[in-house]
Each structure stands twice: as structure tokens, then as C-alpha cells.
Amino acid sequence: MRLLLVEDHVPLADELVAGLGRQGYAVDWLADGRDAAYQGACEPYDLIILDLGLPGKPGLEVLREWRAGGLTTPVLILTARDSWAERIEGLKTGADDYLSKPFHPEELNLRIQALLRRAHGLANQPQLEAAGLQLDEARQCVGRNGEWIELTAAEFRLLRYFMLHPGQLLSKTHLAEHLYDGEKERDSNVIEVHVNRLRGKLGREVIETRRGQGYRYNGAGG
């Protein structure tokens, strides 16, 4: 899952980028509201974390522009401000959730998980469940019929994306755009390697290949 973090406090941004990376997210970081308004509307993000007190353009104005332009990406507002009026204004403007600083990193991670699952119509349960598999995002392993299978970081990121999009046909290009941040070189052939490794652990029927089109997650048992 690819996230956009818009935060002008550099030490906090560095901490968040590192922490979210350990949770398997690809993160692009911006510190200016004007840059965020443009990039958030142009790049295929799965979720945006937005500070309100930004240089260049205030966070609420950025969010207002995104929503007016038809952007439906979930937005979590992150701010040091503690005004009820401002919280309400942010939600009215189109924010999906609100978290005040200081906060515990685990709370941010759980809120991100909940927003991503809600955006894809899935229940917010202790494990992500889709088509017969359970994904433990904290331990980054997958369960099937009571057996837990270890995953590499790359396998975990790919399987999580598939499980959030069950039954959907996903091209290699689409997967690469959502699994890597803007600084990483996107090699669609690497996707094929990780798909094959997941099949080796979970069975070939879990991920279907549509020649010339991409992959579709069918889950355990086809």
C-alpha cells in the first residue's frame, strides 16, 4: 500500500516514514501544502496522512481542493491543534479520521488499517480476512486452516494488497505503482517473482494469472 505523508516537522516525518516502512507501507513524504495539493491529486495513493499547519498552503485548503476535484482517497488528518471547531471543520471538509499530536505510533497504525479496510468494504477485525486466508499485519504472516506461514517483507506487502482487492484483476504496472514509493525503481518483473513465491507457500490456486492482463487473488481453495 502506498501512502502520502504531508508533514513539515522533519524529525516527526522521519520517524513516521521509518515506522510506516516497517509496517510494510511505501511512503512518499512532502512538507509543503502546494506540492501536496498537486501530487496527492496526480499519484495513485491508497491513503494520505495530512498535517494541517503546512507552509505554502494550509492543510484544510489542500483537502478542500482534493475533494472538490473528486479525489476519494482516505485522508487521515494529523495535527497538534486541539480545537473541537477545527476537528469538525476538517471532517466537514472531507477528512476520514482525525488524530491529534502527540500520539502513539501503534494508534496511528491501527487507524490506517481501519481506514484501508473500510475503503475496500472489509470488516475491521484483528486479522485481515479475505477468501479463506487470514493476514496478521502485526506479525506479517498468513494463516490458513489454523496454520501460520511466515512471509518475507515483500511477500507480505504484495499479499496484503491482493487481500484488500479480492477478485479484482490487477496488472503488474498497477501493483508496482501501489507497492513502491516514488523514489524506488518499479520493476514489474519483480512482482512476478514474488507472486510465484507466494504460490509456492500458499498454492497456485491462490493467485490466478490472466495472460497479458495481470493477476487476480482468489484465496484459499480457489
pLDDT tens figures, 19-70: 999 999 999 999 999 999 999 999 999 999 999 989 999 999 999 999 999 9
What's the pTM? 0.92
Does residue 83 carry a pLDDT above 90? Answer: no
Residues 36 and 115 in one domain: yes
Q: Does residue 222 fall inside a structural domain?
A: no
Q: Which of 97, 120, 143 is the last residue of a domain?
A: 120
Residues 102 and 174 in one domain: no
CB 71 within 8 A of CB 26: no
Q: Does residue 190 fall inside a structural domain?
A: yes
Q: What proportion of the chain, given as a percentage, has pLDDT over 90?
A: 78
Choose the weakest-confidence range: 79-83, 92-96, 195-199. 79-83
Residues 116 and 147 in one domain: no
Residues 133 and 106 in one domain: no
Residues 162 and 115 in one domain: no
Q: Does residue 156 fall inside a structural domain?
A: yes
Residues 81 and 8 in one domain: yes
Let me know how long the chain is: 222
Residues 11 and 114 in one domain: yes
Q: Which of 61, 96, 120 is the last residue of a domain?
A: 120
Q: Does residue 151 fall inside a structural domain?
A: yes
Q: Does residue 169 fall inside a structural domain?
A: yes
Residues 170 and 190 in one domain: yes
Residues 46 and 86 in one domain: yes
Residues 10 and 115 in one domain: yes
User: CA dihedral defined by 77, 83, 89, 92, rounded to 10 degrees?
Assistant: 70
> Which pLDDT does position 29 carry in this prediction?
98
Residues 102 and 138 in one domain: no
Residues 86 and 151 in one domain: no
Q: Residues 73-78: what's their mean pLDDT?
A: 96
Q: Does residue 17 fall inside a structural domain?
A: yes
pLDDT tens figures, 91-132: 899 999 999 888 999 999 999 999 999 999 888 888 899 888
Cβ-defined contacts of 98-106 (< 8 Å, 24+):
101/12, 103/78, 105/15, 105/16, 105/19
Q: Which of 80, 103, 120 is the last residue of a domain?
A: 120
Q: Does residue 160 fall inside a structural domain?
A: yes
Q: Does residue 57 fall inside a structural domain?
A: yes
Which CATH number goes with the domain that contains 73?
3.40.50.2300
Which CATH number goes with the domain that contains 187?
1.10.10.10
> Which pLDDT does position 222 carry in this prediction?
43
Q: Which domain holds residue 61?
A: 2-120
Cell numbers describing residue 68: 472538490
CA nearest neighbour of 101 among 76, 124, 74? 76
The total number of structural domains in the chain stands at 2
